[in-house]
Chain A
Amino acid sequence: DAKTTQPPSMDCAEGRAANLPCNHSTISGNEYVYWYRQIHSQGPQYIIHGLKNNETNEMASLIITEDRKSSTLILPHATLRDTAVYYCIVGAGGTSYGKLTFGQGTILTVHP
C-alpha cells in the first residue's frame, strides 16, 4: 500500500473551515484515498473516500489533486466536537477486501 504524509498537528477556530492536507505521491492507479478520524477513547470513524473525483458527504469534502499525489479533507464549519486525530489512508478499491494501514495521523484541535 502507498504511504501517506500528514502534518502531526493543526489548529482551527470553531466555525471556520478546517483543511487537512495529505501527501500520497506513490499512490497507484487503482488505490483509493480514505479518511477516518478518532475521537479520544473511541474507535476510528469513517469519514469519506475517493478515487480521483472530488467527493462530498454530510461530514466533509475530499479534494484530490489531478495527479492524485495529494488530497485535502475539508470540514466546512468545524465544531469543538471535531477535535480528533484524522487519518489519511491509501488502499485498495472500495469493493475489495484489502486491509487499511493507518499512519500517525493529524491531531486537529478546534478551539473556541
Chain B
Amino acid sequence: EAGVAQSPRYKIIEKRQSVAFWCNPISGHATLYWYQQILGQGPKLLIQFQNNGVVDDSQLPKDRFSAERLKGVDSTLKIQPAKLEDSAVYLCASSPYNYGYTFGSGTRLTVV
C-alpha cells in the first residue's frame, strides 16, 4: 500500500512570509493528523480531522495557522505569517484507528 505523501520535503522562508504544506493520506483512512516536531522534542499534535471535519484543533495557533481537508482526502496546512519559532518538521499521519498510525516523512521548515 502507498504511504502518506507529503510535499515539499524542505522549505526555507523568511519570517512574515507564508507557507503551505500538502498531505495525501493512505486511501480509505478516515482520520488525518498534523503534528509539529521541534528539534529534540517529540511530535506535538496540531490538528485532527475525521473525514473532512475537525475533531481537535486545541493546540493549533489559529492566529497564524490554518488547515483544511478537502473532500475528506488531501489536506493542506498553512502558516501566515511565519515566525522564527515555527521552524520545525511538520508531520502528517493517517489512520483507520488509534493504532497503526502511518506517518509521512514530513516537511522540514526553516524560517530565517
Residues of A within 8 A of B (CB): 32, 34, 36, 41-46, 49, 85, 87, 91-105
Question: Total contacts A to B, CB within 8 angstroms?
Answer: 63
Give residues of chain B (12-55) contacting chain A, Cβ–Cβ below 8 Å: 30-31, 33, 35, 41-45, 48, 50, 55
Identify B99's interface contact among A49, A99, A102, CB under 8 A: A49
The contact sample of 21 A-B pairs, CB cut-off 8 A, is A32-B98, A34-B99, A41-B105, A42-B103, A42-B105, A43-B104, A43-B105, A44-B43, A44-B91, A85-B42, A87-B42, A91-B98, A97-B30, A97-B31, A98-B98, A99-B56, A100-B45, A100-B98, A101-B45, A102-B44, A104-B41
- Roughly how many angstroms separate A102 CA and B30 CA in the complex, as a whole number? 21
Identify B55's interface contact among A91, A97, A104, CB under 8 A: A97
